[in-house]
Structure 1
C-alpha cells in the first residue's frame, strides 16, 4: 500500500495540511452534513463533474473527521469508480476498496511517529480511545493484521 502513503505525502506537500475537511476545500469537494439515519455514516458522490461527501450530522465530531477522511480516500483513490460498481459488487468493494479508503484515512489521521509518542503499555483499543480514531486504523498504520 505504498501508493496510499505516497498519495497522502503528495497531498501534504501540495496543500500543507492533512486535515480532511481542509483537503476537501482545496480539492473543491463539497461537504454536506445531513441526517442520514442510524445506518449510514457517510458516502462519496460524483455527479456531473461535482464531487460531494455526505456526512451524517448525527454522529460525533471526531467520527465526522474519520468519515470525511475515509470518503476522501474514495474520491482520490477510486476516482474511476461509479456508484453503480459499488452497488453491483458489494463483496469486492468491502474486501478491497473499503480497506484502501480506511488505510488512506489512517495515513491522514494518525501521525507517522505513533510508535514514538509514548503510549507505553497501552493496547490498540486504549490508543484508539485516546486519539479518537477507530482501532482498525491504528492497526493499518502500524501494519498489524
Structure 2
C-alpha cells in the first residue's frame, strides 16, 4: 500500500479546520464589537432619556447600532432604563444575540428662581436691605450713608 494519498487528505482536513476556526474567531470578534456598540448606544440613550428627551434617545441609539436592533427606553420612578439588543452577523450566528442595559438617574428639571438669583451667603436679599438691624455693639458705625432714621451717624 502507498501512503502518498493520505498526506494530501490530512492536509485538506487541516486547511478546512483552520478555515472553520478562523471563521468562528472572526464571528466572535464581530459579536464583541457589536456588544460594545450596544453598550455605547444604551449609554447614550439612557443619558438623553434621563434629561427628558426619550424620542431623541431612541433616535441616537438607533444611529449607533445596525438596522434591526431593538431599542427600548423605560422610565421607572427616578430611573431610566435603556436596553439595546442586536444579532451579530445576522445570518452567520442565528442563535446568538447580544444586548446591553444601562440605568441612569433622571435629572431634575431646571427651575428658575422666583425673584432673581439667590443672595450669596452672608448677604441680605435686596428687599431686606432697608430693614437691616442695628450693630450689636450698641454704638453706631459710620458708613458714609445716611441713617434710615434720619439721625446723624
- Structure-2-length-normalised TM-score: 0.22
Larger fraction in helix: 1
Greater relative CO, 1 or 2 (CA 8 Å, sep 6+): 1
TM-score normalised per structure 1 = 0.23
Q: Which has the larger radius of gyration?
A: 2
